[in-house]
Structures are given as C-alpha cells and as structure tokens.
Amino acid sequence: MADQPDRALPEYKKAFELDPSDPYPANVLAATYREKGELKEAAEWYRRYLKLKPDDQEVRNVYDGILKQLGEDGGSRAPSETPGPADPGP
C-alpha cells in the first residue's frame, strides 16, 4: 500500500495537463510530494495551485513553510509575481 501515492502521481499530472485551470490535481500532487519529503517538487506544485487559488491562506502557509525549509524566501510575494528588471531610468 505504501506505493499507492506513487502510482497515483502520473494520473494527477495527466489530469492537470488536461485541465490546468483545475487546482485540485496540483494540490494533491503538492501534498503527496510533501508527504514523500520531496520538498522542491512539492513547492512547484503548491506554486501552481496558488496561481489558481491565490486566496487559500492555509495552502499559502504550507508553501511558505516549505520555501523556508528549502532556504528560499517565503511569503514575500505571490507565486505568480516575479521580480522584473530594474528600471533603467530616463
């Protein structure tokens, strides 16, 4: 039974590919990777989930915690925001 999550991962990835606007597969993938201790993969799937559900504070807290464990900056900006180039001025 321990391999059940591993066998489900490809199915959830396929579901997300078929409908990338559905946050459920991304959330399941993120939680599964987190349970397996694969934090980088979990962070990526939480990031995708939060792009779709940016107001989910509970998941954001989990995501921020993972980023802190990975030594990255958690909570400073939404996952869909990326720093832009510096303003070159006039």
Confidence of residue 72 (pLDDT cuts 50, 70, 90): confident
Q: What is d(CA 53, CA 49) in angstroms, rounded to the nearest whole number?
A: 6
**CB contact at 8 A, 29 and 12:** yes
Instruction: Indicate the pTM of the whole model.
Output: 0.76
- In this structure, of 14-18, 59-63, 68-72, the range with the lowest mean pLDDT score is 68-72
**CB contact at 8 A, 56 and 49:** yes
Residue 18, both tokens: 């078929």
